[in-house]
Amino acid sequence: MNLDAFAKLCADHGVQVVEIDLTQSLAPQGPFDVIVHKLSDVIVEAEHDNQSQQLLANFQSYVSAHPSTVIVDPLPAMTQLLDRFASYRLMSKLHNSLRDWRICSPPYLEIHSDTDLPSIQEAVRNQDLSFPLICKTRVAHGSLSHEMSLIFSVGNLADIHPPCVLQSFVNHGAILHKVFVIGDKHFCVERPSLKNFPSGPCDRKTIFFNSHQVSKPESSSDLTALDEKMPCLPPPSSEAIAALVRELRLQLGMALFGVDVIINIRTHTLTVIDINIFPGYEGVPQFFSSLLSHIQSLLLTFNTLVLRIYVFITAPKVIWNCIPAHHLVLF
């Protein structure tokens, strides 16, 4: 992200952006009225890294001591999106809450670390899952979270590495619709995706792939190549996408997230396959202006006269501090 461009945009609206250090106490650097952060790396690393644990503890200590500070987004909400077990449970409920919009998510199975192969094979047979299956890591953030595989038979379940999620693969014409949410605004960007595969088990070897590479705007590979006779799918309904975003904002209590959706080639059902924490917003030229607009709406909501907003965007050691009549900070 071009933070210099965002700093200039903020300056044009009376907001000055400066750097502060997250490794130091936040209190002397504040006070802050709004904190927009991306602490996902720190949260994940805090599971095994003492320095990250301390950074997270310092941040949480400041937030606890300053309850009037608005956090975008709340750490508990972000934590559930870092765990595909939690986010997929949420996705599975969308079928009921959004029934009128014909929105659903594929059947899936949670595979825990201590599950042996025979138990996994039996669970797949007993659940409403259909081959091929797409295998995703439990942790939904970081480079390893993009490493996935397509499993074509019960025998090939030996190729998975728990903890992970097994999700029925839905043919969708090699088109992925990435929905980027910024407060009450959202943007839909079309990306390449996996091609169609015959339904049902077969003796094909497991396909290992990186979802980030497959879905890059310029991606072109055998995995995304479609039969030329494949008819064009209708685009997702803008009304259905809006309903999905409203429901997820309500359920998540978040303002900055992404949703991966596809169109089932057989039923034309809008199918949610993943929810992403603070995505890259690639292909959304209005990101900075929309983020600033959301921040301004927070100010109006909380009747803040003097604002300091901290937005934590990338490196956990850097915070961007914005000062004016409105005081914004970017982590």
pLDDT of 268 strictly over 70: yes
Instruction: Provide the residue count of the chain.
Output: 331
In the block, residue with structure tokens 């094909």: 204
pLDDT, tens only, 277-325: 999 999 998 999 999 899 888 877 875 544 555 555 433 333 343 333 3
Q: Do 95 and 103 meet the contact criterion of CB atoms below 8 Å apart? A: yes
**Range in 94-103, 134-143, 276-285, 301-310 with the lowest mean pLDDT:** 301-310
Residues flagged as binding site for ATP: 84, 136, 167-178, 193
More confident residue, 133 or 313: 133
> What predicted TM-score, i.e. pTM, was given to this entire model?
0.90
- Which strand (E) or helix (H) includes residue 235? none
Share of the chain above pLDDT 70, in %: 89
Q: How far apart are CA 196 and CA 225, in angstroms?
A: 9
Question: Binding site residues for 1D-myo-inositol 1,3,4-trisphosphate, as ranges?
Answer: 38, 146, 178, 276, 280
Q: At residue 129, what is the residue type?
A: L
Binding-site members are: 38, 84, 136, 146, 167-178, 193, 260, 274, 276, 280
- Domains, the chain, in order of start with CATH, read 3-73+284-330 (3.40.50.11370), 80-277 (3.30.470.20)
What number of H helices and E strands is found in the chain? 10, 16
pLDDT digits (tens, 9 = 90+) for 201-245: 999 999 999 999 999 888 778 899 876 677 788 899 999 999 999
Q: How far apart are CA 319 and CA 154, in angstroms?
A: 48
